[in-house]
Amino acid sequence: MKKYAFNEITTMQFIFIISGIAISYGFIEIPQVLYNGAGNSGWITLIFGSLTTTAANLVIVQVMKKMPDGTILELLAKYAGKWVGRAAAIVLSAYFLYFAYGGIVYSTRVIKARILQETPAYMTLIMLLIPAYVVARGGIRIVGRYAEVSMGLSLWIPLVFMVVWGHTHWLYLLPVLPEGWRPVLTAVPSTFFYFLGFGATAFLYPFLKNKEKAALGVCCSQLITLLAYLFITLLSFAFFSPGEITKINQLSIYMLKAVELPFLEQVEGLFIVLYLFIFSMSWIPLFLLSSFCMSWLAGRADHRIFLRILLAGTAVFSYFYVPSFNVTYEMGDWLAKFGMAIEYAAPVLLLGYLLLYDAIRGRRRLS
Amino acid sequence: MKRIVHALGISLLSLGPLTGCFDRVDLEDASLSLVAGVDITEDHRTMSYTSIPVFSKAEKKSQELKVVANTQREGRGKLDAFTVGTFNGRKIKVIALSKRFVQETPDWFRYMDIYFRDGRNPITPRVVVFDGTLDQLFYYHSPNQPILPLMLMGMIKSASERSETVDTTLQELHRQMNEEGQTPFLTEMSIKQDAMIDGTSLLDHKGRYVDMLSMPETVLLRILQKNARQSVGFSLRMPSSLTGSTANEDWVSIATERVKVKIDSAYAGGRFRFFVNLRFSASVVEKLSGLDLDDHQGGAEAACAEELRDKFEALIAKLQRKKVDPVGFGIYARAHHYKRFKQVKENWGEAFGQSEVKVRVSVGFADEGSVK
Amino acid sequence: MGILSLFGGKHKRKSQRPSGNPGSQALPDEPFATDLRSNLDKLSELFPDTLDLTVRRLHIRATGQDAALVYIDGLTDKIDINTSIIRPLLMQTGISGEIPIEIGRMIRIYGWNDLTVAVLKGSSVLLVEGSDEAIVMRTGGWPQRNPTDPKMETSLRGAQQGFVETIEQNIAMIRRYLPNRELKFKNFNVGRRGNTQVSIAYLEDVANPDILRELEDRIGRLDIDLIINTGELAELIEDNPYSPFPQLMITERPDAAVSQIAQGRFVVLVDRSPTVLIGPSSFVTFFQNIDDYSTRWSIATFIRMLRFLAFFISISLPAFYIAVTSFNFELVPIKLLITIGTYRGTVPFAPFIEAAFMELTLEMIREAGVRLPSPIGQTVGIVGGIVIGQAIVQAGLISNIMVVVVAFTAISSFILPNLDMVAAVRIIRFSFMVAASLFGIFGLLVGLMILVGHMISLETLGTPFSTPFAPMRFSDWRDTVVRSPLWKLTRRPVGAHPIQTRRQGDNRPKGDG
């Protein structure tokens, strides 16, 4: 039996992990961000954002091609020295932990606000940690399967939103570009936050079964993300009048509140809990990656011990303090800054460094 | 380790019932407010009304309460004192506002804030304007009607399905209140012999009550909004030149099969111009005169079209006179003439009043029925 | 490659068990003496006070030697011994100097341990004067049952033959379906005292050798006294004994077992047990039934979907009821809500107590019905029907809606074709009810997430339990939620990891046109 045969992830799992991390709470928040930035032409901004992200993601794949059997940490350790690798492990571990924590707190807040108003937030949060442990314990390939299942179980989402169709006013999408291109282009960076998570590529790459399909996978996952965002953005732009769109939080959830099905009323409660499958993609893989970085740092083969520490730490910490919604948004701003540095800027620099490194070494070898 | 996790899980679950259940309210212990009402007293203090179903073997199936309170939330607190269970607004189906409240309270829409801010409250309750004091409505018990919420829901549903009133939910109202290019409209009802729907109340941008539309007028409004349900019927008067019969007999009733509404906008001469193009495809359901539809189909269609055009023009003239735009012409204006619209968006009602609306109607008979 | 192991899955079995069968290893096999008398002394020393041990001394006419025939009375076929062994030995005159025995299967053994095992398993052993070997003859004739129709897994169209308690017969039944050279049986002896024969049946050119090795390894490592039933073996060799889910399917139908062998799976037969294990089984195999393949595919598909729906209903419906009556009643349409409220209004218990009480009553009635002989079993049904359906509601203890929910749940769980899966469903249902009573619909969903997380982490014999949903294998979907027409099933399911995937050619009926 191939020893690591069952430890690989398929291209589809790769696609779903990457787009799952991105979509998770972007799906709830992005329409408003786009509207605030670029008005009713925000969806154009979205396309630009997606293109930029795809490019950045492809850069990561390009970097990782230098080290098909190792993660970014091995690559750094090999090309830039052991200590650089360790430093990167610490930084990335912290980044992923922060990302995961932000995601889980956001979900907790949404549930607290809309479903369990009187239950203490820490209890909700701890409840969410249990499935996280069950899944992340199994390692990358289980998370890959989880991504598939959660995406599969969420295919009903577009269908539910179709019910909203009856309440839409498509004229709200006109005029296109009322204020010209400027706001559209200046708003592009604000979308980056909602595409974050593709940095996981640098860790997933060595596990990919078909590495030559990595670039294709990246394009597919970014396309899925874009389509999901476009869908929800266009729908909410057509649903809300321009005056109210800025006054409402979490447009996607709010839209569903207008839905009345003959057998079910106030669908949004059910939607939020079922949407947890997607929400959870913003913390389960990231807790895993964070604990993975730690175990790499410690040189241990088993990531689970660190996973337990992380989750238990999160649970204990949450018992004392769970950030409020506003703090969550502030955390999001910080995360956006870190994320842009780590996932957009750093890979480009790294690729440059690697090319230079190879060029110099190649010249040395020649001379 | 696994065992520890399991033990942890089990202890957590068993601990739960002791500590948890924070949000638990058993259905029979909850006082579900199904209808909420807001009225004002003589000295302009707001009053909260509510209707709660009673889950017991009691004769009376619902309980109606009223309190005077500054805010809706305060009202809830006061109402809670009256009810057996915990007062709960998560299932409100209808919000009734008294006409006086809507007329005399400036900016009354802020009282609705609680429904939007609390994430568990629904935004689908229908909002109705009640012509009279809410005492009348809430303490009205007709022996042959179901409990108040079901009665109101049923009335609004059936009337709006015939397009005779609007189906404005709280969310729809919120959208309209925040829409520069459209003014809000609500269902209006009253109690005469029995509870009945009167038509549609028209509100201005601030939410102030302006006027009302009768049920036939509402039908026209909903056609213009491209929101007419099923088929709607009109009884139209044919010119006697066509029918050759006496005035009492020259009526023709038609039921629409399909209505195509096209609204074009333009800006010229310092004001907006709208071209409303309506194409009806209808079947004849009743004819009193001896008009031969085979021979005079074209003439009859044209006559119907003219009748309908008059009705629509009268409606639009009324709206323009009152400076309200429930149709949403402003939305067209914004979509196609954004720069011009921006100049008048602060008070679109005014601009709409000055704009020019041209209506063109054409009617085609699709079916003349099974008799000649 | 080190990092790949970092993310490694779970560790396989916990501890390394001592291999081999200690019972036979404990004392080195002692050879027979050539002297018959001392051999018989030794025999009586080995089997003291064994009343059913028969030692028949006789004189072999053909060779002129003295001999002793040793067997256990109850375990052997007396007619066989009399006519095929004793009579030829006594009567036949030999020509070539061979011992005349008219029995097909005989082996020579050279030590006492083998003799003990053989005698205790129902063979007869012939000890001959002047020889240091003994002859073992298969004369097994213990109380046996004829193959009857399977009791638990009845089938409308399938064969009316179920496995029986003798492994030879079970193997024969499997062979009847698959007269193929590639059908192989690997034998093991499990249990120090029980010494149970366990056989793995598989198609050598189809089944995956890695999984076979894994299975052999697990069975070989067992160090146990006795295995009475297949279920015990399943629990000892499955991957995750903490899981509520069965990971190896148990069946009593030869046709079901064979159809799995043909798909590339392995069947483990255990002597003395009328059921066999099938592995690796995935979640969906528990929803397949042999009848699916003999009814029309469209109907079979409908029934499959019904089963998955039933699975979902029976794990979550009571929990959902609790959630909507104590937490999330905004989900219920108003008219239904008022109806529920009117019924609930007179009930003195909280929904969770109500539901738990009713579900427990149902489980008790079911359990009572299982163990009782069938005439009394029916009474239980009547009592249950009256108690649950009528009295409880009239007494105002439980609401009507709850009775509907319980009945619906019960019917849903009856649809599932596999008993072990039904058992799993019950456990899950109760935990979901607890979760829903704490956090309402959110608790229910967290429960569902844990369930999904657990299911995708679960492996059977090193293959994923949740295939073909995760990892997603669309080609396998043809025989999961839907049952495609048979001619579409041209490939064996990837979930069984077969090494030969092609199952059949194009068999699509063309009709006359």
Per-residue confidence (pLDDT) for residue B49, from 0 to 100: 84
B35 in any annotated domain: yes
CB contact under 8 A, C331 and A265: yes
pLDDT above 50 for A5: no
Same domain, B212 and B244: no
SS3 B271: strand
Q: What is the pLDDT of residue B124?
A: 86
pLDDT at B38 over 70: yes
Tokens of C315: 């794990």
Q: What are the backbone dihedrals phi and psi of residue C470, each rounded to the nearest 5 degrees, phi first? A: -150, 115
Q: Report the pLDDT value the prediction gives residue C20, as an integer from 0 to 100.
A: 40
HSE of B95 in the Cβ direction (CA atoms, 13 Å)? 29
Chains near B with 3+ CB pairs less than 8 A apart are A, C
Which amino acid, A199? G
Interface of A with B in 102-131 (CB under 8 A): 113-120, 123, 126, 130
A41 in Cβ contact with A176 (< 8 Å): yes
Closest Cβ opposite residue A130 in set B9, B23, B124: B9
For residue C465, the distance in angstroms to the closest alpha carbon of chain A comes to 11
In a shared domain, residues B344 and B316: yes
What's the pLDDT band for B9 if we cut at 50, 70, 90?
Answer: low
Q: What is the pLDDT of residue B197?
A: 86
Nearest CA in chain B to A169: B331
pTM, to two decimals? 0.88
Query: Which of A184, A132, A126, A123 shows the shortest CA–CA distance to A24?
Result: A132
Question: B189 and B297 in one domain?
Answer: no
DSSP 3-state of C289? coil
The chain C residue lying nearest A121, using CA atoms, is C439
Q: Is A98 on the interface with B (CB under 8 A)?
A: no
* Crossing angle for the helix pair A267-279 and C419-457, to the nearest 10 degrees: 60
- Whether C470 sits inside 8 A of A266 (CB atoms) is no
> Tens digit of pLDDT for each residue in B150-208?
888 888 888 888 888 888 888 888 888 888 888 889 898 888 888 888 888 888 888 88
Query: Does residue B56 sit within a domain?
Result: yes
Among chain A residues, CA nearest to C331: A265
Range of the domain at B323: 231-372
Considering Cα of C207, then C213, then C214, then C217, what sign does the dihedral take? positive
Residue B26 pLDDT more than 90? no
How far apart are the C-alpha atoms of A317 and A321, rounded to whole Å?
A: 6
Cβ-nearest to C442 among A71, A116, A148: A116
pLDDT at B5 over 80: no
Q: In chain C, which residues have their Cβ closer than 8 Å to the Cβ of B27?
A: 325-326, 329, 337, 340-341, 344, 351
Q: pLDDT value at position C375? A: 77
Q: Which residues of B108-135 are buried (b: 16+ CB within 10 A; e: fewer)?
A: bbebbebbbeebbbbbbbbbbbbbbbbe
Identify the pLDDT of residue C3: 41
For residue B14, being part of any structural domain is answered with no
Contacts of B334 in chain A (CB under 8 A): 171, 174-175, 242
| Concatenated DSSP letters of C336-359 | HHHHHHHHHTT--S-HHHHHHHHH
Query: Residue C197: what are its φ and ψ, rounded to 5°?
Result: -80, 130
Q: Which pLDDT does position B258 carry in this prediction?
A: 84
**Closest-CA residue to A195 (of A158, A148, A230, A149):** A230
In terms of domains, do B250 and B178 share one? no
Residue in A with minimal Cα distance to B178 = A243
Give the pLDDT score at C307: 93
Q: Is residue B121 one of the residues assigned to a domain?
A: yes
Kindly state whether residues B284 and B334 are assigned to the same domain. Answer: yes
Q: Given CB atoms, is A137 within the 8 Å cutoff of chain B?
A: no
Q: Is residue B16 part of a domain?
A: no
Domain ranges of chain C: 22-137, 167-281, 302-463
Q: Which of A118, A130, A241 sits opposite B175 (nearest CB)?
A: A241
Of B2, B20, B55, the CB nearest to C342: B55
Same domain? B101 vs B222: yes
End position of a domain, from candidates B200, B226, B252? B226
Q: Is B246 in the same domain as B346?
A: yes
Quote the minimal CA–CA distance from B334 to chain A in Å: 7
Domain with B328 in it: what CATH number?
A: 3.30.300.210
Instruction: With CB atoms and an 8 Å threshold, state whether C242 touches B6.
Output: yes
pLDDT, chain A, mean: 86
CA distance B202 to chain C (A): 29
Q: What are residue A66's phi and psi, to 5 degrees? A: -70, -20
Quick one: B136 and B204 in the same domain? yes
**Closest residue in A to C447 (Cα–Cα):** A131
Check A241 against B178: CB less than 8 A apart: yes
**pLDDT value at position B246?**
66
Per DSSP, B120 falls in state: T
Residue with tokens 């997607």: A278
In this prediction, residues B34-42 reach a mean pLDDT of 85
Q: Which of B3, B5, B23, B24 to mutate to test the interface with C (most CBs of C within 10 A)?
A: B24
| Same domain, yes or no: B143 and B268 | no
Residues B201, B237: one domain?
Answer: no
Please give the residue of chain B at the shortest CA–CA distance from A266: B122
Q: What pLDDT does C171 receive?
A: 92
Interface chains of chain A (3 or more CB pairs under 8 Å) = B, C
Pairwise CB contact (< 8 Å): B175 & A257: no
- Angle of helix C297-326 relative to helix C351-371, nearest 10 degrees, comes to 140
Q: What is the mean pLDDT of each run of 10 residues along chain C (513 residues)?
A: 40 40 53 86 86 87 86 86 86 75 82 86 87 86 83 82 89 91 90 88 90 90 89 88 89 90 91 90 88 88 92 93 88 86 85 88 83 78 76 84 89 88 91 90 92 90 84 81 83 81 79 62
Predicted confidence (pLDDT) per residue in B260-316, tens digit: 888 888 888 888 888 989 888 888 887 777 777 777 788 888 888 888 888 888 888
pLDDT bracket for residue A366 (50, 70, 90):
low
Angle (CA) A133-A137-A139 rounded to 5° is 135
- Residue C377: enclosing H or E segment and its boundaries? helix C374-384
* Residue at B296 is within a domain: yes
Structural domains of chain A, with CATH: 9-366 (1.20.1740.10)
Percent pLDDT > 90 in chain A is: 18
ipTM: 0.91
Task: Count up the domains in chain B and report the number.
Answer: 2
**Is residue C437 within 8 angstroms of chain B, CB to CB?**
yes
Whether B292 and B183 share a structural domain: no
Instruction: Please report the pLDDT score of residue C1 as a whole number.
Output: 36
B124, B182, B338 member nearest A260 (Cβ): B124
Contacts of B328 (CB under 8 A, 6+ apart): A169, B179, B181, B182, B225
Closest in A74, A127, A134 to C457, CB measured: A134
Co-location of B199 and B146 in the same domain: yes
* Burial readout B145-162 (b: 16 or more C-beta within 10 A, e: otherwise): eebbbbbbbebbeebbeb
Core vs surface per residue A351-364: b (16+ CB within 10 A) or e? eeebeeeeeeeeee
Distance of residue C439 Cα from the nearest chain B Cα, in angstroms? 7
Between A120, A248, A266, which is nearest B122 by CB?
A266
Give the up-direction half-sphere exposure of residue C357: CA atoms within 13 A in the CB hemisphere: 16
Q: Which residue of A has its CA nearest to B20?
A: A119
